[in-house]
A and B are shown apart, each in its own frame.
Chain A
Amino acid sequence: MSRIRMAMLLFVASEAVFFIMLIIAYVVYHATSPSAADASRYLDIQRTGVFTACLFSSSLTMWRAGINFRTGRRRAALVWLLATIALGTAFLAGQGTEYASMIRENVIISRDLFGTTFFTLTGFHGLHVFIGLIMLGTLFGTGLRRDAVSRPEAVEGITIYWHFVDAVWAVIFPVVYLWVLR
């Protein structure tokens, strides 16, 4: 196992604990607080479902990009990478509009326990997506230079991170959005 790969896996394990804590907080308060019932009014499951699909498919495109990087097809890899960035950005944009419409209805972090836990959990996930986009952008930028020394470990590391961000959403989406569909 390459050093970067192992380091990234360890880092992701550590981050997983961080998210587990935030998810537990969401679940505990959602199960016990009266404000939880309101949650279904503010969450647009269909729209978020579409953005979720974007995020999930970005894992697929990232995987294709990785294969092309490995086999030395730089141009194809860059196209897949660009697709990944586009899908990730779409997800973030979707989250932005969701936040905007909720805030317009005065659902904010200090309103009730739903607001507190919802914005903390999805906000930290969004932050991680954003950091992932910066990494992907850097990878894209260095990949553009023809003479760029290829760093397979870097691609590998960023791929692991990106899949992790995806996997976290694969837990958050059912917990936050599907749970309110009683």
Chain B
Amino acid sequence: MNNESRAPGNAGSIFEAGEYKGLLSWLSSVDHKQIGIMYFVTSLFFFLVGVSLAMVMRTQLIKPDHHWLSPETYNQVFSMHGTTMVFLAIMPMLIAFMVYFTPLMIGARDVAFPRMNALSYWLYLMGGLLLYFGFFTGGNLAEGWSAYAPLTSSNYTKSLYLTGTGVDYWIIGILLSGAGTIMTAINILVTVAGLRAPSMKLTRIPLFVWMSSVNAVLMLLALPALNAALVMLYLDRHLNALFFNTAGGGKPLLWEHYFWFFGHPEVYILILPGFGIVSEVIPVFSRKPIFGYAFMAIATVAIGFLSMGVWAHHMLATGMNFTVYYVFALATMLIAIPTGVKIFNWIATMWGGSISFDTAMLFCIAFIIQFTVGGLSGVAFATVPIDWALTHSHFVVAHFHYTLLGGTVFTLMAGFYYWFPKITGRMLSEKLGKIQFWLMVTGFNGAFFPLFFEGLEGMPRRVYTYPNLPYLAGLNLLASLSAYVLALGILVFFVNLIVSLRKGKPAGDNPWGGWTLEWATSSPPPPHNFDRIPPVRSIRPLLDLEKAGRSTDAAVEASPEEGNG
């Protein structure tokens, strides 16, 4: 592993780098690395908020007939938990990785439109704050993160729960941050298309960048559907339009179609960059190239494409006709194929490799197992009769937490352990990392595996308490206690971040022996990213460089003329 000395002048820690000094340097920044870090910090903050809301829910559900929270409060808590996690924590955290690492991994100086990048971030932050402002106006969204009309659209809302305007703040907040996300998508796509290192052909793009690009396409095409629905909802609420008003002939089902036409690509938006992180981490920690690079890229495109055509599987119980059901159930099951290809490719990459079980790798392994559970329960669920039996039960809650928490959040953790050294110049503590990992694995599985059984027992989701029926008390107690363990694991993570930022081992340029371009520059990278960009002759340019260095013992010069131009 080439742990070369750093470029002179770069002290090797984010605190000593001049470009990061002073509040103004952050507020006025258009540098993709600084904006990426702001995305990281903000999304981690909202993640903490989301976790706290989850703890409130788990505490409420800890025993049967518990009346600690009122139903109205519980409704707001789970709605804001879902909204926060999806829109303000996980998606922006993935965007943070995309914005920070896409230019570095393709050898670019910055994204294509740095100022637009800054605008995206500020829209996201302001959108998030507006969303929470709803709490100060008498109550927030209480209809679930999917905000089904007409619950949200008519006076119903006002009479039942809210005298305030929480749903309005929700609409505007989501619209604003959504506009920012669309801009990010454009930015990433133009960056990848136009700013790659001269010799980086399409077949040499790191898989993280591939998956981020497909992700950007999904964001670009899915979010406007949500925006259209939000606009209609807003018109219904304020100009008494009739889109979702049944009395005036409007169809609430339209909201469901639009929401899920956005919503299903959205759940892939929430996982694809995670797949990308895993596809970077597993090869490096197995000391093998990724198995089936082309298949991975193609499978990603296939997933992206299919994800636009399965939205109605969220609506299998709405009384549409059976042909519709079958088509969507089938399309849903089709997605399992490219996803399965990926799972096998990751396993095949590990197969026979010399695996080192660092924290990043542990999170990837746990991800593979947990995501498979989540994915399989999803396939089962796409079967119409099973859906009818289990829809709107805690089975669903277990299913999507296995994919989003056991899946995405675990990949994000892998990403943090893998790339934190590059961002800050310091290593995260492996000791705390292992503690965190085991707390999270036990906590997560303990908190969500029982929910499959609760769902089978018939416990509905989105209901603030439950009667003392057989098994339910025990399962819920187990789930709640495990959730606290999970939260403790997340707390350890935050401690690790803060402690390691100051006291972590200096990382050097390439602590893991990575092969992609971001490891060719110093940690943290200088403002211009690269002094010299190594030539890209394969998907592992740094390995080529190392080999060339060994065989000829001569410095390898970058040659921008070379390649496809």
Contact = CB atoms under 8 A, between A and B. Distances in A.
Contacts of A32: 249
A6 B193 contact: yes
Interface in A26-66: 28-29, 32-35
B254 interface: yes
B194 A6 contact: yes
B250 interface: yes
B186 A7 contact: yes
A112 B229 CA distance: 18
Interface in B193-235: 193-194, 220-225, 227-229, 231-232, 235
B360 to A, nearest CB: 33
Given A7-B113, A18-B228, A21-B258, A110 B239 contact: yes
A79 interface: no
A17 interface: yes
Contact of A113 (B113, B187, B228, B250): B250
Contacts of B187: 7
Interface residues of A, number: 30
Nearest to A16: B224
Judged by DSSP, the binding face of B is helix
B185 interface: yes
A14 B248 contact: no
A116 B232 CA distance: 9
B232 A25 contact: yes
Contacts of B112: 3, 7
B190 A3 contact: yes
Contact of B251 (A1, A28, A120, A124): A28
Contacts of A115: 241
A11 interface: yes
A117 B235 CA distance: 10
B364 interface: no
A112 B249 contact: yes
A175 interface: no
Interface centre among B112, B228, B240 (most CB of A within 10 A): B228
Nearest to A2: B194
Nearest to A119: B241
A21 B220 contact: no
A103 interface: no
A18 B227 contact: yes
B251 A110 contact: no
Nearest to B235: A120
B248 A109 contact: no
Contact of B185 (A10, A17, A119, A120): A10
Nearest to A124: B231
Interface residue tally of chain B, by bracket?
20 to 34
Contacts of A117: 243
A6 B225 CA distance: 21
Interface centre among A13, A17, A112 (most CB of B within 10 A): A17
Contact of B221 (A14, A109, A112): A14
B355 interface: no
A7 B235 CA distance: 30
Interface centre among A6, A14, A18 (most CB of B within 10 A): A14
Nearest to A111: B242
B335 interface: no
Contacts of B248: 112-113, 116
B484 to A, nearest CB: 42
B221 A17 contact: yes
A15 interface: yes
Contacts of B228: 17-18, 21-22, 25
Nearest to B241: A116
Contact of A110 (B194, B227, B240): B240
B189 interface: yes
Contacts of A113: 242, 248-250
Contacts of A120: 231-232, 235, 241, 243
B257 to A, nearest CB: 9
A15 B224 contact: yes
Nearest to B116: A7
A10 B242 contact: no
Contact of A116 (B113, B222, B235, B258): B235
A3 B192 CA distance: 11
B224 A21 contact: yes
A131 B65 CA distance: 56
B186 A109 contact: no
Contacts of A7: 112-113, 186-187, 190
A115 B239 CA distance: 11
Contacts of B235: 109, 116, 120
Interface of A: 1, 3, 6-7, 10-11, 13-15, 17-18, 21-22, 25, 28-29, 32-35, 109-110, 112-113, 115-117, 119-120, 124
- 8 smallest beta-carbon distances between A and B, as pairs: A21-B228, A110-B240, A18-B224, A17-B224, A116-B241, A116-B242, A10-B186, A33-B249
13 contacts: A1-B194, A3-B194, A6-B189, A7-B112, A14-B185, A17-B228, A18-B228, A25-B228, A25-B232, A109-B239, A113-B242, A113-B249, A120-B243
Given A22-B228, A109-B239, 11 more contacts: A6-B189, A13-B220, A18-B225, A21-B261, A25-B232, A25-B243, A34-B249, A112-B242, A113-B248, A120-B232, A120-B241
